[in-house]
Amino acid sequence: MAKIAFLGLGVMGYPMAGHLKSAGHEVSVYNRTAAKASAWADAHGGTFGTTPREAVAGADFVMACVGNDDDLRSVCLGADGAFAGMEAGSVFVDHTTVSAQVTRELYATAAETGVSFVDAPISGGQAGAENGVLSVMCGGDADSYARAEPIIAAYARICRRIGDSGAGQMTKMCNQIAIAGLVQGLSEALHFAEKAGLDGRAVVEVISQGAAGSWQMANRYETMLDDQFEHGFAVDWMRKDLGICLSAANETGASLPVTALVDQFYKEVQKLGGGRWDTSSLLKRLRALD
């Protein structure tokens, strides 16, 4: 078993750290709100640090799941940051969805002190984290990934190395691009059914068994029809991710017309006061147009 530090105890990180402890690892945690880290330690029998550097002392692996590029830099860098406390030969695994640019920056900085850095963004939402069935897409050196994979397995249904540093984050962008179009398509289908006077549940029961079926349809259609949008990844976070997608598209020359359009639709959802609604709230935008 390994000595592990987990930085960031949000709706994803809190249960992920718990799975590591349940797997028999020695786990220390850090959270910006110290009371949450203390509560996790009390609940799971682990320890906590008041700074990232304190939490990672002696750790073989450091896992992070924070908010954005700036949050990741703040837990990694500086006198109280994780890199200052990590020993040569240890591995930093970042589960945050951030830009490939900051990933490559931190990969290079970590390497200067003999620390390995693996970008490992996740998909599967809060339920996936709680049930230990996340999809994990990774970038970084092959040997570092090979060391980290058995640790990540505590909360992953599938974990794959896609390529060198940044490849995991670019793969996560593919994930978000695909989701954006799927949710808009599902929202339009349900909206059309409502306007046509059809029973939405009966419609989905039929079309979900054919080519239209998707995870989004299977897991979100009922709450969407019931006008409930508190069940998943928030619009504010999706817009952050889509912003990364569109920025990367400008750099690579990729064309993302649907993604750009859906990003603007989410902006309209935010104007409706739905920044914390889940991403399926695109349907609520359509209803608001009536």
**Active-site hit among 21, 172, 195, 284:** 172
Are 84 and 90 in contact by the 8 Å Cβ rule? The answer is no
- In the residue annotation, 172 being an active-site residue is answered as yes
Pairing of strands 91-94, 61-64: parallel
Q: Which helix (H) or strand (E) holds 91?
A: strand 91-94
Q: Is the dihedral of CA 181, 242, 95, 279 positive or negative?
A: negative
Concatenating the DSSP letter of every residue in 5-27 gives EEE--STTHHHHHHHHHHTT-EE
Tokens found for residue 45: 């029998």
Tell me how far apart the alpha carbons of residues 160 and 120 are, in angstroms, rounded to a whole number: 9
Are 187 and 121 in contact by the 8 Å Cβ rule? The answer is no
Alpha helices in 116-234 (DSSP H): 125-131, 142-152, 167-195, 200-207, 215-225
Residues with Cβ within 8 Å of 175's Cβ and at least 6 positions away in sequence, in order, are 123, 135, 137
Q: What is the dihedral of CA 87, 90, 94, 98, to 10 degrees?
A: 60
Tokens found for residue 284: 């609520």
**Catalytic annotation, residues:** 172
